[in-house]
Amino acid sequence: MPASLLDFLAGGLLQAGFGTLAIYFLAATQLTIFSVTLYLHRSMAHRSVDFHPAVAHVFRFWTWLTTSMITREWAAIHRKHHAKCETEEDPHSPQVKGIKTVFWRGVELYREARSDRESIEKYGKGCPDDWIERHLYTPHATMGPTLLLFVSFALFGFAGVAIWALQMAWIPFWAAGVVNGLGHWWGYRNFESADTSTNLTPWGVWIGGEELHNNHHAFPSSAKFALRRFEFDIGWATIRAFEKVGLAKVLRVAPTLDVRPNIAMPDGETLKALLAIRFQAMTDFYRNVTLPTLREGRDPLPRPLRKGLADGGRWLDDHKRARLQAWLAERPKMATLAEYRQRLAQVLDDRSHDAQATLQRLHAWCTEAEASGIQSLQAFSARLKGYALAPTRR
């Protein structure tokens, strides 16, 4: 116990040393990260995992205590981000609002999105609506951090106030700034998804696995974010630990690609796989067809334009798009491959739900690709025809 008022102000009731304060801070902030990535994100927003009610409520309480975020609002804003990704309606797209705005003013963007009550109603369905949510967590959202401030001061004195301030900045910086900002601006991509999402690092440890943002955008409903052998998702490891003791139930994970040999033409299995993992096909096309042909020419292409070959120039401005078209016009083989890529993307993006018509278009695409005389395109077509979904593995 503190011997004097000055001791209390300096160190609170516990008079903890620097090591104890550091351990508390890291444990508390990681619990906050887990509450966001496991509960708000994977469980509530995407319904990929269910937690035991006791575990779920711990996450809810800790989110209320440390962030003042409301489950329904967070889930709605995130669902809208996926539904309207990289458009004017996206709550936090660096492509639309600029990386500096999203990185440094992410909290302001979140507040703006909260004020759109129509979107909250539309995208926020299925979230908790029990007595404690209606009478405490939602109407008194700011009470949690206020309570935490007093508790932190009582336990640790002014050092606790400093820790509290860092806790309040933790999610705004790492989630609103780093994931929403850098996660659509810098990093590597496993999948040529229809957005600019990137993986910040293959080891998702510091922010609960959210570092693997491109993987998540490719398969939003997957509870597991690590999709390559060299990747690690600490959030998934935690889910598996909960599952082993009966405190969690995994509902969905990303499908795995299998490639059958010697398939003459695309069939129902091919189409089923492509509908489930269509981004994998576009990624394979870029890596196995576009890149090898580009390297054959020994013709350097600026990185932004090279990325345009990967995604069809979707995110290039008018000037860069014109430069890319001029570059392709001087290289007939690359122009042909770009055309085949565009046609394949149109087949895979077909939303008519006419499986037979889609299969016929895919059949025609493969036939023409194999008659093109371009070896890499022919090999890709042969591989594409054998696409199938492998049994789910965890």
Last residue of a domain, one of 202, 232, 250: 250
Residues 286 and 385 in one domain: yes
Tens-digit pLDDT profile for residues 106-118: 999 999 999 999 9
Average pLDDT over residues 2-29: 89
C-alpha of 104 from chain center: 19
pLDDT of 268 over the 70 cut: yes
Q: 127 with 246, same domain?
A: yes
Give residue-wise pLDDT tens across range 165-222: 999 999 999 999 999 999 999 999 999 998 999 999 999 999 999 999 999 999 999 9
- Regarding whether 246 and 269 lie in a shared domain, the answer is no
Please give the share of the chain, as a percent, with pLDDT higher than 90. Answer: 84
pLDDT of res. 239:
98
CB 335 within 8 A of CB 346: no
Predicted pLDDT of residue 233: 98
Q: Say if residues 86 and 93 touch (Cβ distance below 8 Å).
A: yes
- Identify whether residues 207 and 345 lie together within a single domain: no
Q: 2 falls in which pLDDT band (50, 70, 90)?
A: low
pLDDT, one tens digit per residue, over 309-329 is: 998 888 888 999 999 999 999
96 with 86: CB under 8 angstroms? yes
Is the same domain home to 217 and 329?
Answer: no
Q: Is the pLDDT of residue 367 over 80?
A: yes
**Element of type H or E holding 216:** helix 213-218
At residue 369 the predicted structure's pLDDT band, cuts being 50, 70 and 90, is very high
Q: Do residue 241 and residue 314 come from a single domain?
A: no
Domain boundary among 198, 226, 250: 250
Chain mean position to CA 109: 18
pLDDT confidence of residue 306? 87
Question: Does residue 226 share a domain with residue 344?
Answer: no
163 and 305, same domain (yes or no): no
Report the DSSP pairing between strands 203-204 and 248-250.
Answer: unpaired
Tell me: do 60 and 175 sit in the same domain. yes
pTM: 0.93
Number of domains the chain contains:
2
3-state secondary structure of 388: strand
Residue 3 pLDDT exceeds 70:
no
Backbone angles phi, psi at 387, to 5 degrees: -55, 140
Does residue 283 sit in the same domain as residue 145? no
Contacts of 300 (CB under 8 A, 6+ apart): none
- Domain region containing 225: 5-250
The CA-atom distances, in angstroms, between 274 and each of 96, 105, 261 are: 29, 38, 16
Residues 84 and 164 in one domain: yes
360-366 long-range Cβ contacts below 8 angstroms, 24+ apart: 362/266, 362/270, 362/271, 362/274, 363/265, 363/266, 365/340, 366/265, 366/266
Instruction: State yes or no: pLDDT of 350 exceeds 80.
Output: no
243 and 321: one domain? no
Question: Tokens for 317?
Answer: 């401005």
Q: Is the pLDDT of residue 119 over 70?
A: yes
Quote the mean pLDDT of the chain.
94
Final residue in a domain of this structure, among 215, 250, 285: 250
pLDDT of residue 349: 85
- Rounded to whole angstroms, the Cα distance separating 91 from 203 reads 27
Grade residue 380 by pLDDT with cuts at 50, 70 and 90: very high
Q: Say whether pLDDT at 267 is over 70.
A: yes
State residue 298's pLDDT score.
73
* Pairing, β 232-233 against β 203-204: parallel
* Interval 54-78: pLDDT, tens: 999 999 999 999 999 999 999 999 9
Label residue 101 by pLDDT band (50, 70, 90).
very high
